[in-house]
Copies of this chain bind each other. A is one copy, B any other.
Amino acid sequence: MSQYDVLCIGNAIVDIIARCDETFLRDNAIIKGAMNLIDAERAELLYSRMGPAIETSGGSAGNTAAGIASLGGKAAYFGKIARDQLGDIFRHDIRAQGVAFDTKPLAGQPPTARSMIFVTPDGERSMNTYLGACVELGPEDVEKDKAEAARVTYFEGYLWDPPRAKEAIRLTAGYAHGAGREVSMTLSDSFCVDRYRAEFLELMRSATVDIVFANESELKALYQTSSFEDGLAAIRRDCRLAAVTRSEKGSVIVRGDETVDVDAIRIDQLVDTTGAGDLYASGFLHGYTTGRPLGECGRLGSLAAGLVIQQIGPRPRENLRDAARRHGL
């Protein structure tokens, strides 16, 4: 029996969240809806212009791990924090959620990563991420026992931004496959796909990655197409299993000849889209690692994503296992 359902690997980030209007994004050259990478100097500038904020642990794969634990699954996490107050917050929150997190924190500089997230009135989030300590994640941070013990290893495409995290991923994937496990990734962001298209395709075509999560714009960016259908046909060929999210249109899951369409859940009020994709992956992977049919995996994803976008912040404050029961899942 496997000790973990899912091992998640990602940039360990504390989110700093404030609302802003559309003008603010334009005036500050922030690409709307994207993950904008920033350096320390720009982080300071943007923070000086940001309104009063709240802080919450984030990081794409960290949110997914938290979601899996909230659903009752067993999750582990690799990610690099520094020994500082933001690092303490990150470690506290993910462990308090029940996720195994033992990556050695960085003793000196740079500090723990933070992402300044601006939420516009339409609920869309635009992220500005200073990677900080995340740039130090490397193969020395791979815990072999966890890589071998997790049914699925899941990582962010964002990990191609820091210099050595990809080495950690390839090492972990090797351990996982060696132990007969599966490996999964999210394409993370369409601009991230633009930066690393060739490498992402290689990961899929070499079967380093078995399961791929993408949203519609990431899928189109990957295959440089404006046609969703063409993108779907291509990803169906390139990986064993793919789940493509389409916001309010739900998601489409493809595996070989199989295609499963999943509806989004009904939303009372869209508050903040931060974490939507991360939580979809939580629900899907929780279903997948507990042996549910693909449609049910997708519905668990829709539910977790639908709940997180009705609150501020990327990790649902509600217990997801209770929510799933309430929704008959």
The interface of chain A, by Cβ under 8 A from chain B, is: 16, 19, 47-48, 50-57, 66, 84-86, 89, 92-94, 96-97, 111-112, 313, 315, 317
Contact = CB atoms under 8 A, between A and B. Distances in A.
Contacts of A96: 50-53
B55 A54 contact: yes
Contacts of A50: 92, 96
A55 to B, nearest CB: 4
B53 A92 contact: yes
A52 B57 contact: yes
Nearest to A49: B96
14 contacts: A16-B89, A19-B317, A48-B92, A52-B66, A52-B92, A52-B97, A52-B315, A53-B89, A53-B96, A55-B89, A84-B84, A85-B85, A85-B86, A85-B112
Q: Is the interface of A mostly helix, strand, loop or mixed?
A: mixed
Contacts of A92: 47-48, 50, 52-53
A274 to B, nearest CB: 13
B84 A313 contact: no
Q: How many copies does the complex hold?
A: 2
B19 A52 contact: no
A131 B315 CA distance: 29
A222 B290 CA distance: 59
Contacts of A317: 19, 52
Contacts of A54: 54-56, 313
A53 B93 contact: yes
Contacts of A47: 92
A94 B92 CA distance: 25
A315 B52 CA distance: 9
Given A52-B92, A55-B55, 19 more contacts: A16-B89, A19-B317, A50-B92, A50-B96, A51-B96, A52-B57, A52-B66, A53-B89, A53-B92, A54-B54, A54-B55, A54-B313, A55-B56, A55-B89, A84-B84, A85-B85, A85-B86, A85-B111, A85-B112
Contacts of A16: 89
A250 to B, nearest CB: 28
A301 B47 CA distance: 30
Contacts of A93: 52-53
A165 to B, nearest CB: 23
A52 B69 CA distance: 12
Contacts of A84: 84-85
Q: Nearest 4 CB-CB pairs, A to B?
A: A55-B55, A85-B85, A52-B93, A54-B56
A315 B315 CA distance: 21
Contacts of A315: 52
A19 B315 CA distance: 14
